[in-house]
Amino acid sequence: MKFSPLVQELIDSLKCLPGVGAKSAQRMAFHLLERNRNGGIKLSKTLNLAMENVGHCQKCRNFTEQEVCDICQSTKRQLLQTLCIVEGPADVIAIEQTGEFQGLYFVLMGHLSPIDGIGPDDLGLDILSEQLATGNFKEIILATNPTVEGEATAHFIANLAQQYQVDISRIAHGVPVGSELEYVDGNTLSHALSGRKTYQL
């Protein structure tokens, strides 16, 4: 049996989502058609708007429908003169939720990975250089992931930033809160030991 062309097209379109195969796409399509028309209409409108209007912030490369995103526009944040460099938009949210950091961000949208063909040109490092050249920043925090590729990216950016008068720091490696030392992998533990801090009383 075949579905009518429009239903089939809906199912095929849903398959472009990550982790969604033929069966899941079919289930989603039927659910929207049968049980949640309003949700489906809202989804289609928002999807259309977002796909047409959302671009990258000119300063930090994060997703935004404005030319410069809200975080970059905030004068309070600009005053801190600190730039936190992260791999993806999800990292920005994660750091924002801690409330620890009040400065600006720069989103690389990936990390250096030669085998996947991602080189320095794909990470918007030219925009980063422009940002640093303005002299608006006193410190950059390298908050790329603690993977080998993230480390390489951090090193590459640190090299790039050396020519501008900025302090360069790297987020610490450590043991996660609530975990048990015996289950922590050796690499993390050795980083945690070598990067230990003096105990403040």
Partner 1 sequence: MDVIEQSAFVLHSRPYREHQQIVDLLTEHNGKVSAVVYTGKTNKSNKKGLLQPFSPLNVVLKGRSSLKNLSRIEASQKSYTLKGDHLYSGFYMNELLVRLLGELIACPSLFHHYQLSLIALTNQHSIEPILRKFELDLLDELGLSLDFSPIFEYEADSFYYIAEQGFVPSIDELKLPKYNRQHLQAIAQQDLSLDTVLRCNKLLMRQVLNILLGGKPLNSRKLFTKN
Please give the residue ranges that form the binding site for partner 1 (CB under 8 A): 19, 112, 114-121, 147-148, 151-152, 155-156, 159-160, 176, 179, 183, 185-188, 190
Nearer to partner 1, 40 or 89 (CB): 89
User: Distance (Å, rounded) from C-alpha 201 to C-alpha 195?
Assistant: 19
User: Distance (Å, rounded) from C-alpha 173 to C-alpha 200?
Assistant: 19
Nearer to partner 1, 34 or 121 (CB): 121
φ, ψ at 149 (rounded to 5°): -65, -40
Q: How far is the CB of 167 from partner 1 (least distance, A)?
A: 19
Q: How far is the CB of 40 from partner 1 (least distance, A)?
A: 25
Q: How far is the CB of 121 from partner 1 (least distance, A)?
A: 8
What DSSP state is assigned to residue 36? -
Bridge-partner residues for 86, per DSSP? 107
DSSP codes of every residue in 4-46: -HHHHHHHHHHTTSTT--HHHHHHHHHHHHHT-HHHHHHHHHH
Nearer to partner 1, 80 or 152 (CB): 152
Nearer to partner 1, 103 or 150 (CB): 150
Q: How far is the CB of 117 from partner 1 (least distance, A)?
A: 6
